[in-house]
Structure 1
Amino acid sequence: MQILDLSHVLTNGMPVYPQDPPFILEEIVNFENHSYSLSILKTGLHAGTHIDAPYHFHSSGLKINQINLKDLMGTARIIDVEKEVKAEDLPSLENMDILIIRTSWSNKWGKKEYFKDNPYLSLEAAEIISKSQIKGVGIDGPSVDPPGEITIHQKLLSNGRWIVENLKNLDLIKSPLVEIYFIPLALEGEASPVRAFAKIK
Structure 2
Amino acid sequence: MIRVSSLKRITYSRIIHLSHVIDPDIPQWPGDPQVEFTSVAQLPDDGYYLRRVSLGEHSATHINAPNSFYQAGIGIDQYPAQSLVVPAVVIDIHAAAAVNADYRLTVDDVLAWEVQHGEIPLGHLVLLHTGWQNKWSDKNAFLNQDARGIMHFPGFGSDATQFLLDERQIAGVGIDTHGVDSGQDTSFATNRLVLAQQGIVLENLTNLHQLPAKGSTLAIAILRLRGGSGSPVGVLAFVP
TM-score if structure 2 supplies the norm length? 0.78
1:146 aligns with 2:182: yes
Note the C-alpha offset of 1:133: 2.3
For the 8 Å contact 2:29–2:178, the answer to whether it is kept is yes
Larger radius of gyration: 2
Cα deviations by residue, 1:11-39 (Å, 9 ceiling, x for unpaired): 12222112211111211211142101121
Distance (Å, rounded) in 1 between the aligned partners of 2:74 and 2:90: 25
Pick aligned residue for 1:38 from 31, 50, 54? 50
Q: 1:17-166 to 2 correspondence within 5 Å?
A: 17-81=29-93, 82=97, 83-90=103-110, 91=114, 92-111=119-138, 112-116=140-144, 117-131=152-166, 132-147=168-183, 149=186, 150-166=188-204
Runs of 4 or more above 3 Å deviation: none
Distance (Å, rounded) in 2 between the aligned partners of 1:159 and 1:39: 37
Residues 106 and 53 (structure 1 numbering): CA distance in 2 closer, same or farther, change over 3 Å? same
Distance (Å, rounded) in 1 between the aligned partners of 2:202 and 2:53: 21
For the 8 Å contact 1:54–1:162, the answer to whether it is kept is no
For the 8 Å contact 1:78–1:177, the answer to whether it is kept is no
Note the C-alpha offset of 1:96: 4.3
**Residue in structure 1 matched with residue 28 of structure 2 by the alignment:** 16
Distance (Å, rounded) in 2 between the aligned partners of 1:181 and 1:104: 22
Q: What letter corresponds to residue 13 of structure 1 in structure 2?
A: D
Is 22-31 or 122-131 further displaced after alignment? 122-131
Distance (Å, rounded) in 2 between the aligned partners of 1:101 and 1:141: 9
Consecutive unaligned residues in structure 2, runs of 5 or more? 1-12, 98-102, 145-151
Distance (Å, rounded) in 2 between the aligned partners of 1:145 and 1:133: 19
* Equivalenced residues, count: 201
Distance (Å, rounded) in 1 between the aligned partners of 2:196 and 2:177: 21
Cα deviations by residue, 1:30-50 (Å, 9 ceiling, x for unpaired): 114210112111111111100
Root-mean-square deviation (Å): 1.6
Consecutive unaligned residues in structure 1, runs of 5 or more? none
For the 8 Å contact 2:127–2:173, the answer to whether it is kept is yes
